[in-house]
Copies of this chain bind each other. A is one copy, B any other.
Amino acid sequence: MSAGRKPVIAVVGAGKCSKKLRDMASEVGKLIAASGAILVCGGMGGIMEGAAKGAKEAGGTTIGILPSDSRDDANKYIDFAIPTGFGEARNIMVVRAADVVIAFPGSFGTLSEMAFALDAKRPVISVNAWRLGEEIIPAETPEQAAALALKLAAKPKDED
């Protein structure tokens, strides 16, 4: 990350979810935005919308990398929508755009994002999402997840 660039944190998870999970994602979005980090997500509903809503409520900035080729498909909390037209292959871009990934429960799309994040050496924090082994950092609450993510995003990286 260039000096002067803000940390970017991805929040991934189901496109449809319970109100409880959506609120948890919102809380994460709020906390990372309040600390000056940028939120990146898939730009659609459920966890993605919850996280973006929280980030906007805290005055943050949100980026949505969409599967479709139309900006109109982004949820209303997305500041900058990138309509890829690449379908689920956009998942790989969501995690590459971030320093750290926070994963909420989701199906196989979420699993692919966690896999690509680990492949790209992005730390993955799981809030009750897929537990894939010791590389995944567990968190129980939005507060824990956000604190861990901000700490890891601030850490100097040795990207190749």
- A38 CA to B116 CA in the complex, in Å? 27
| A115 interface residue per 8 A CB criterion | yes
Would you call the interface of chain A mostly helix, strand, loop, or mixed? Answer: mixed
Name 11 extra pairs, CB < 8 A, besides A80-B80, A83-B96, A111-B115: A1-B71, A8-B71, A69-B120, A83-B93, A84-B93, A84-B96, A85-B86, A85-B87, A85-B92, A111-B118, A130-B132
A-B contact pairs, 25 of them (CB 8 A): A1-B72, A2-B76, A61-B80, A63-B82, A69-B87, A69-B96, A70-B159, A72-B159, A82-B93, A83-B93, A83-B96, A84-B96, A85-B88, A85-B92, A85-B93, A86-B93, A88-B116, A88-B119, A107-B119, A108-B118, A111-B111, A111-B115, A111-B132, A112-B119, A130-B132
Q: Does A129 contact B (CB under 8 A)?
A: no
Task: Count contacts on A: residues with CB < 8 A to the other chain.
Answer: 41
Whether B80 contacts A89 by the Cβ 8 Å rule is no
State the number of copies, please: 4
Q: Which residues from B are CB-within-8-Å of A109?
A: 115, 119
The answer for the CA separation of A130 and B72 in the assembled complex, in Å, is 30
State whether the Cβ of A5 lies closer than 8 Å to any Cβ in chain B.
yes
Q: Which of B2, B69, B89 contacts A85 (CB 8 A)?
A: B89
Kindly identify, within residues 106 to 128 of chain A, every residue whose CB is under 8 Å from any CB belonging to chain B.
Answer: 107-109, 111-112, 115-116, 118-120
